[in-house]
Chains A and B, each alone.
Chain A
Amino acid sequence: MYGKGLKPLSIATVAMLAVSLSLVFFYAPLDADQGFIQKIFYVHVPLAIVALVGFIIGGIFAIAHLRTNNRKWDAYSYVSIHISVIFGVAVLITGAIWAKASWGHWWVWDEPTLVSFLIVFLLYATYYPFRYAIEDRDRQARYASVFAVTAGAFVPLNFMAVRMAQSLVHPRTFATAEGGMPGEMMLAFLCMLVAIGLLWTTLVKFELTAKSASGQVKRLRRALDAPVAGGSSRIAPEVN
């Protein structure tokens, strides 16, 4: 059920990534200020946007779980947050590389954009031990959903606070006061954003399909009255 449409989605993701990367390196012009180093922007910013949106989507799925008490939504919420955390790691590393090349430092502590993203990332990093600390599966799912809703609401608030703050060195992606991005750059950026969004969706579907398959095997074992080999993870929810 979860694997439905995974193959065309994977093909679309690979094709979109290939097109976007071609646009980034062969079509988008070099930035007048930063030169070639600005190419990091096309992977760093879409990853950050998709990761933050993924956290919010995780919160929306958690609301659906709390409203319906259907464990399927808890699994969706968990997987959304899980993939977004992985994207968050990529954002932090690519951002640090860009910072080193542009500013000469791997990290700048007085820059609100960097620190706020780190706070959001660390907040979601606590999701796993929080989930793991609860033995009872129903309580675990309920508490994890409450966490996902609260943290998901924090993400846009945090984003708005950063937008309103006086930035020292970090540029604004959609700034229009100083002319914004040229059309070719914007096209490459938007294609990359769509590609990364597709990648996130594919990975979420892939993870859900694997969890579903694992859940079905465990169900089958229980039906055959045989012991479950290897045990099951207490962090990850099962999907049947």
Chain B
Amino acid sequence: MLELAALLPLAAPALPLDEAGKYVAGAYIVFMVLLVVYVAIMAAKLGRIERELRDVAEIAERNKDDQAAPGREAEEAAPRV
């Protein structure tokens, strides 16, 4: 039985753990890095959407103020006596 166990490494030409480990780690790191890069790109996109939304909100508020105070504009435009 012990002889058979001693022959096992010859029958299984696997890379030793210290050498195989770096390849396995490399493969899983590639997967994780791609995921993180994707999430980072999406975060940048969401940041841009947020900025655009802020601009739109400012425009909407400005329009609302302009509509709310038409009398003031007319007053300013009227000639003073």
Contacts and interface: CB of A to CB of B under 8 A. Distances in A.
Interface of A: 30-37, 39-40, 43-44, 47, 86, 89-90, 93-94, 97-98, 100-101, 199, 203, 206-207, 210, 213-214, 217-218, 220-221, 224, 226, 229-230
Contacts of A199: 35
Contacts, number: 91
A94 B30 contact: yes
Q: Main SS of the interface on chain A?
A: helix
A90 B55 contact: no
Contacts of B17: 35-36
Given A210-B42, A210-B49, A226 B31 contact: no
Interface of B: 12-17, 20-21, 23-24, 26-28, 30-31, 34-35, 38, 42, 45-46, 48-49, 52-53, 55-56, 59-60, 63
Contacts of B49: 210, 213-214, 217
A47 B49 CA distance: 30
A226 B56 contact: yes
A207 B15 contact: no
Contacts of B42: 206-207, 210
Nearest to A33: B12
B31 A89 contact: no
B46 A43 contact: no
A97 B56 contact: no
A43 B27 contact: yes
A101 to B, nearest CB: 4
Contacts of B35: 199
A32 B42 CA distance: 41
A129 to B, nearest CB: 19
A37 B15 contact: yes
> Nearest 5 CB-CB pairs, A to B?
A35-B14, A101-B23, A36-B20, A37-B20, A94-B27
A36 B14 contact: yes
Given A36-B14, A226-B56, A43 B31 contact: yes
Given A34-B14, A101-B20, 7 more contacts: A33-B13, A35-B20, A39-B24, A206-B42, A210-B42, A217-B49, A230-B48
Contacts of A47: 31
B8 to A, nearest CB: 9
Contact of A101 (B12, B15, B52): B15
A33 B14 CA distance: 6
A229 B15 contact: no
Nearest to A217: B52
Contact of B38 (A101, A203, A217, A220): A203
Contacts of B12: 32-33, 35
Contact of A224 (B14, B48, B59): B59
B61 to A, nearest CB: 11
Contacts of B63: 224
26 contacts: A30-B14, A31-B14, A33-B13, A35-B12, A35-B16, A36-B15, A36-B20, A37-B14, A37-B20, A37-B23, A37-B24, A43-B27, A43-B31, A44-B27, A86-B34, A90-B31, A100-B23, A101-B20, A101-B23, A203-B38, A210-B46, A214-B49, A214-B52, A220-B56, A221-B55, A229-B55
